A and B are shown apart, each in its own frame.
Chain A
């Protein structure tokens, strides 16, 4: 069984229906640890050794956050800057994260259509996530396709519930190693695995 660390970051968690629902769906799962960064470090003073210890205790690292400015809220960046040290996460001797899996769980206000060469955002979500992808790769981790919820502002109750169930299913499949890793190369979002299974 793989152990999963959710690095959750949302500065206005109290306002986010989708993230509340998503987090609620996975919080009691066995093998899942939720690390609520804005709750833990409201002053942005990150306890680096503690975070590194958490990383070493898990096999799958999930950055779970809203898609602010085509990227993550500031605390995720601060976390990366401080925790992913040279000699720990990358560099010749930085092998602490080698072989772990990295993934993102993203909520975005815009629809999938606007994230395309023709849409008003011009790039796909995966293109925007290139820095995260490459960061994980530099740390010798396997970067998985992201779990993405589009149009988060307009979701109805049924849709919210559906996304939460999907998220839980994905996390469970990852935890129990029930996904064929070859699949990752052929899909854009990890959400598709559930649709294929269904």
Chain B
């Protein structure tokens, strides 16, 4: 078969991914590291399953990054992007400039020529969009403040690739005049050879066309295709669009990733957004995986074995420089409380753009074989280490930071001997607290979210930033003299722990608690605490009540029906608790209990109808008797 080799390779790559990624995830290493390891294992230095074509595969798979940026664009509305302008240009700009500057300096010290040093600085200043964004979405950090900042920096870097590509040939000619005709400038398109102002004009024009088409034409095209009802045609269209944009951008010397990102943003508020997202997502995932595998497979362990200490030193030097610059910038841009560390660890590796830029520079005769080989190895290793850095941050840095900061910043609590301590003043606790305060009770309020505390203080609430799980905090809050402890915090496990401690040490204090779900209620019942409310049971039943009214029940009928339901649920809870006590570890039992619960509830509805119980002198039995008497 003609394509045998292709399919064999596909078999190897896919097989490696399927085996290694689940294992890596199980071990808590994240998918990126899993792919990289898979690549190393199938690569020329371990199993020798794949060889030189890994580089080609990598180029092909870079398209995954393009798809990823398209999807990220889809999730970012223009408004949000505008809000981020400060961190994109300020934080991103400073990061690239300062990091490039320092790396250039270090390169000079290492006896590189000035033009090479500048090129190295520019190339290594960039961070890996692929690794960082994959990690962000995997860990759900896209909405985290550190994640957002990292994303801003990556966005700036994506834009920075364009001028860097333009600069490299110029830098090359500055040091040692090289024969330009020999370079592969032609490869990056005609536009790059044009004068600067014309280039700019073309770029602006292209983006304008992109925005206009995205705004006005795209939805009609999508509708036409969607109406055919053929899903694969929609898939084809989506891919066609992304590939088209990527090629177009490439032709005018813009980063394809940036182009598709803009297209994504333009389509972010279209009605086909979700469909586009789900269509592109699997391709993105596969290609990115392929990309990471090929990075792993292309690590040149020969160079490493020849000169291990130098390479390792360079890798750590690179990561160290990037890390320190990021940390300081993060601080400057108001990242606090460990977020600056997360931010710095996230972006401390080199970029996949470096592969392109290094080989481009080599073609421009800026680097010799030796230098570019070493640079490639340093870049690859820094990318391979980057997931480990994050694990290091999670397991070592952030716990230490948390402890250290906690000591510093928790509020001192005035001794007031209030009868009530309320732990957790968020969406739930706020309501509880307001009811008590409105009725004139004195409440000592604690919350462990500093920004929440700050906001609520503006509204005139007196509350303390503190962590109730710390025994000293309990004492300071006046648990000795309190009558009630209300655990309204969202951290359910912590709340249970506090309840357990208080139950043992301060048995005179009555505990009331917010529960996540019925199992959480059971945990409290285990501690002999029964004043527990599920956090959304009542609001949900109220909405059910409204639905009954909309369906034609009278208000009173609906009220009684909902009450009946709640009452029944209360009774069932006790029963279920007994079941749960008997065997709390068996998952099957748990699911069966759920079913049982639903069934019993429905049964009760049938047997215990409001129509008959609540009609007083209008029940059917009475009416029938009256008819008989007559």
Contact = CB atoms under 8 A, between A and B. Distances in A.
Interface of A: 11-16, 38-40, 42-43, 66-69, 73, 109, 151, 153-154
Interface in B598-624: 611, 614-618, 622-623
B459 interface: no
B395 interface: no
Interface stretch (B29-37, B268-276, B556-564, B579-587): B556-564
B611 A154 contact: no
Contact of A66 (B558, B559, B611, B618): B618
Contact of A15 (B559, B560, B618, B630): B618
Given A109-B622, A153-B623, A13 B554 contact: yes
B448 to A, nearest CB: 36
A40 B556 CA distance: 8
Contacts of B559: 42-43
Contact of A38 (B554, B611, B617, B623): B554
B555 A12 contact: no
A153 B558 CA distance: 25
A32 to B, nearest CB: 21
B614 A153 contact: no
Nearest to B623: A153
Given A40-B555, A42-B559, 16 more contacts: A11-B615, A11-B616, A12-B615, A13-B554, A38-B556, A39-B554, A39-B555, A42-B554, A42-B556, A42-B558, A68-B617, A73-B616, A109-B622, A109-B626, A151-B626, A153-B622
A154 B555 contact: no
Pairs A-B, 7 closest by C-beta atoms? A42-B559, A12-B615, A38-B556, A42-B556, A42-B555, A153-B626, A15-B618
A111 to B, nearest CB: 9
Contacts of B560: 42
Contacts of B618: 12, 15-16, 66
Nearest to A73: B616
B220 interface: no
B627 interface: yes
A95 B558 CA distance: 37
Interface of B: 554-560, 611, 614-618, 622-623, 626-627, 630
A80 B510 CA distance: 38
A68 B626 contact: no
Contacts of A67: 617
The interface residues of chain B, by DSSP majority, are classed as helix
Contacts, number: 54
A157 to B, nearest CB: 16
A46 to B, nearest CB: 13
Nearest to B616: A68
A69 B557 CA distance: 21
B616 A12 contact: yes
Contacts of A154: 626-627, 630
Contacts of B623: 109, 153
Contacts of A43: 559
A77 to B, nearest CB: 13
A43 B559 CA distance: 7
A128 to B, nearest CB: 14
Contacts of A66: 616-618
8 contacts: A12-B557, A14-B554, A39-B554, A39-B556, A42-B559, A69-B616, A109-B626, A153-B623
Contacts of A42: 554-556, 558-560
A45 to B, nearest CB: 11
Nearest to A16: B618
Contacts of A12: 557, 611, 614-616, 618
Contact of B614 (A11, A16, A40, A69): A11
A70 to B, nearest CB: 10
A11 B556 contact: yes
A15 B615 contact: yes
B362 to A, nearest CB: 79
A16 B559 CA distance: 19
Nearest to A74: B616
A66 B559 CA distance: 20
Contacts of A109: 617, 622-623, 626
Nearest to B630: A154
Contacts of B627: 153-154
A81 B560 CA distance: 22
A43 B618 CA distance: 20
A9 to B, nearest CB: 10
A43 B617 CA distance: 20
B432 to A, nearest CB: 20
A144 B623 CA distance: 30
A11 B630 CA distance: 26
Nearest to B620: A15
B612 to A, nearest CB: 10
B629 to A, nearest CB: 10
A67 B618 CA distance: 10
A154 B630 CA distance: 9
Contacts of B616: 11-12, 66, 68-69, 73
A160 to B, nearest CB: 15
B487 to A, nearest CB: 28
Contacts of B611: 12, 14-15
B555 A38 contact: yes
Nearest to A13: B554
Nearest to A9: B556
A149 to B, nearest CB: 13
A153 B630 CA distance: 11
Contacts of B557: 12, 14
Question: Which interface residue of B611, B614, B626, B627 has the most chain A CB atoms within 10 A?
Answer: B626
B625 to A, nearest CB: 9
B442 to A, nearest CB: 27
A159 to B, nearest CB: 14
Question: Which interface residue of B555, B560, B611 has the most chain A CB atoms within 10 A?
Answer: B555
